A and B are shown apart, each in its own frame.
Chain A
Amino acid sequence: METLLTAFLASTVRTATPLALASLGEGMCERAGVINLGMEGTIIAGAFGAAVGAAAGGTVLGIAGGALAGLVVSCVFGIFAIWLRTDQIITGTAVTLGALGLTSALYRVTFGTQGVALSIPTLAPLPLPLLSSIPVLGSAFFSQPVLTYIAFVLAPVCSWFLFRTRTGLIWRATGESPEAVRSAGGRPVQVQLLATSLSGLLGGLAGACLVLSQVGTFADGMSAGRGFIAIAVVALGRWHPSGILAASLLFGGSSALQYLFQAAATAIPYQVFLALPYMMALVVLTSGRRGHAAPAALGGKLENSLS
């Protein structure tokens, strides 16, 4: 039983990691008032960038490649949605569809129809001394690839940044009322561009995580909707980094649970299990009313800055 529990916890953490990275990025972005529907696109771009980077020069280059590719995609989104003030929802969707198609085409151009198979170097688990020897929890939480630790450290860092720094205050205020920020001498456009870039960076890392610490290869569409789930996770986590991390773990946990349930061979149709994570998210969304609601200016266009 202990091994099964450990397997469940480890699977939870692994499934939650890319989701947590993407959701933290999306959450930071939404806190600044931008809803980045291009997240799915940044993840798949990150996965492709990581595959190219790792194939060329190992895992470190892979992580860098993933982050860079995500950044590029989010910059495209930022230039249109924030700089040129196009509609955020439409722009985000276009960016996602574009990135899915483009990575698929580029993958064929770069690696040929045979692809990279499973030849990409992957990140080995990095057991933390002492912590990893804790029974049950140790191997689940403290014997993970480096990207997992990054995700877990990032949540408190984001929290600290948002709630304990001056820049974080401006960041949050931009999501609530860009006009107030401008009146107080801040620059909402800059803040939102920065926030979008950060979301791209983290979305790229999420993609890199899929390739480098999980599958060891690139596959078309391997982001498999995680960018959209991330948007739900942000709402589930009430736009708070620690809430987002918890919501990612909940999503990871319910996914891991459905994997185990399916594998345990019951008479219930598998589609029921596939719906489990989403049903749990709905339950949490409708039951929890506490905490921060959506940023007031989310998804809105900035007023013309100097008229």
Chain B
Amino acid sequence: MSDRLLDLRNVQKRFGSVVALDGVSLQVASGSVHALLGENGAGKTTLMRIAYGLTRPDLGRIGVGGTWRHFRSPMDALDAGVGMVQQHFSLVPSMTVAENVVLGTRLPFRPTVIRRIVLELAEKTGLPVDPDARVETLSIGAQQRVEILKVLVRDARVLILDEPTAVLPPQQGRELLSWVRNFCTEDRAVVLITHKLEDVRAVADAVTVLRGGRCILTGKTYDIPDDTLVGAMLGAPLEPVERVVRHAPSGPPILQAKDVTLRDARGIVRIRNADFSVRAGEVIGVAGVEGSGHRELLRAVAGRLKPFSGSLVLPQRVGYVPEDRQNDALLASLDLRQNLLLHDAARRRGFLRWKSVERSAESLISAFDIHASGPRAAVDTLSGGNQQRFVLAREISDRPDLLVAANPTRGLDVRAAQYVLELLGKLRDDGMAVIIQSNDIDELLETCDRILVTHAGRVREARPDRDLIGRIMVGAA
């Protein structure tokens, strides 16, 4: 096993009655990028948390560089040369980049020294960061770079990245993947958890597909055709996506923005003099790179952010699926009934009738095929995809005039994403106006009637042309 930098053998793990991993083995060769592909809940993240010492396996062995190891904590994994960047970053927001990078290391702790170490490392690895910036002020992309540096500063030879491109706009995602390619020299390896085929094709040398806690397929990427990979992921061939037939919106305008200027919480102008309108019965897409103002634009049309100036006329009822559903849309430890009540909590008066709330929750669960043990299941017992479905179901349950959804397919597997997009199309056909923001231009092109692009605070409508949209996003048009 000399060329096997990371060697997982027969790993088993169960959480309560649920079998998360049922004897999975994975061999990652030196100098290779190994993609770990699978639907939500396939066990990809659990397997890698075990490889990083965050979760203890019930059974199985972990080998690194030819030696069997026993990891009691991430410290042991890092000492062995295994590092992981989790999907939800584990940074300390109030601390500086330099402090976050050296946290838990044995480096000499003097501000000037750690600053220099971080700068040198950033230079050497080609991951530019400002060592003195506080993490909470950074964009998602920069935070991700800090996470990677945190691992590299410990001389990790095996780098595990969990869905790294999911949070990035396309351009930055491509840059990251090419960085991964360059990073992966002779004595190193990268494990890339993803459910995007294009990521696999772009960078992976080898691929392993997990489904339901079992290893379904493993091999060299170029040996395996797309259909086989998709089949292995889903277990059944995917139905061809039905192209949406566009039709002219018939309804009256329900949202009108005139000369709208938006400021973020820190008072920085994020959107300048925006003019646009939305009619009932159309789907509007919003595209933009990190920091271009799309985030504030979405919050404004959802009624969560008051314009600093200009006039913004919104319909009476607006449903909102925020980007960070776990923190902004759900109370994780409460059950589905209570989370359902949150929807119009501010308008409620008098006593709660729990029986009717329970019935509504039940009907949402069955109507939207949410996998939950019942209305009394706590939200954090649901998988990410089911949480997303629940939020969406809740937000459209009272038939709003407008639905605003940020990254509605983020973190969803192919099947779940398709379901959500189809649902949005159906709502449009019923006369609802829908605004969605996505990092995936193709997804917008497939789903939307019109597309608004934000760049540096300006909002522009763009023809449904992939290249044109991409150029506007990066400011090249």
Contacts and interface: CB of A to CB of B under 8 A. Distances in A.
B94 A170 contact: no
A136 B91 CA distance: 49
Contacts of B107: 166
Interface in B56-78: 56, 73-78
B103 A184 contact: yes
Main secondary structure on chain B at its contact with chain A?
A: loop
B109 A176 contact: no
B383 interface: no
B395 interface: no
A307 B55 contact: yes
A172 B75 contact: no
Interface in A276-307: 292-293, 296, 306-307
Nearest to B76: A185
A186 to B, nearest CB: 5
Contact of B92 (A166, A180, A187, A307): A180
Q: Which of A170, A177, A187 is most buried by chain B, counting CB atoms within 10 A of its CB?
A: A177
B99 A185 contact: no
Given A176-B94, A296-B94, A184 B109 contact: no
A166 B90 contact: no
A183 interface: yes
A133 interface: no
B103 A181 contact: yes
A166 B103 CA distance: 7
B74 A182 contact: yes
Contacts of B105: 166, 184
B104 A184 contact: yes
A105 interface: no
B44 interface: no
B90 A180 contact: yes
A179 interface: yes
A164 interface: yes
Nearest to A180: B90
A173 B95 contact: yes
Q: Which of A166, A168, A172, A181 is most buried by chain B, counting CB atoms within 10 A of its CB?
A: A166
A170 B15 contact: no
Contacts of B55: 306-307
A170 B92 contact: no
A119 interface: no
Contact of B110 (A164, A170, A187, A296): A164
Q: For the side of the interface on B, what is the size category?
A: 20 to 34
Nearest to B110: A164
B455 interface: no
B73 A176 contact: no
A177 B136 CA distance: 13
A181 B75 CA distance: 10
B39 to A, nearest CB: 22
B102 interface: yes
A169 interface: yes
B111 to A, nearest CB: 8
Contacts of A164: 109-110
B247 interface: no
B93 A179 contact: no
A229 to B, nearest CB: 26
Contacts of A110: none
A74 B308 CA distance: 51
B92 A177 contact: yes
A186 B104 contact: yes
Contacts of A183: 54, 74, 84, 86, 90
26 contacts: A164-B110, A165-B109, A166-B102, A166-B107, A168-B109, A170-B103, A170-B104, A173-B92, A173-B99, A176-B95, A177-B90, A177-B91, A177-B92, A177-B93, A182-B74, A183-B54, A183-B74, A183-B86, A184-B90, A184-B105, A185-B75, A185-B77, A186-B103, A187-B73, A293-B94, A306-B56
Can you list the 8 inter-chain pairs with the closest CB atoms, starting with the nearest?
A: A185-B75, A184-B104, A183-B90, A180-B90, A166-B109, A176-B92, A185-B74, A185-B104
Interface of A: 164-166, 168-170, 172-173, 176-177, 179-187, 292-293, 296, 306-307
Interface of B: 15, 54-56, 73-78, 84, 86, 90-95, 99-100, 102-107, 109-110, 150
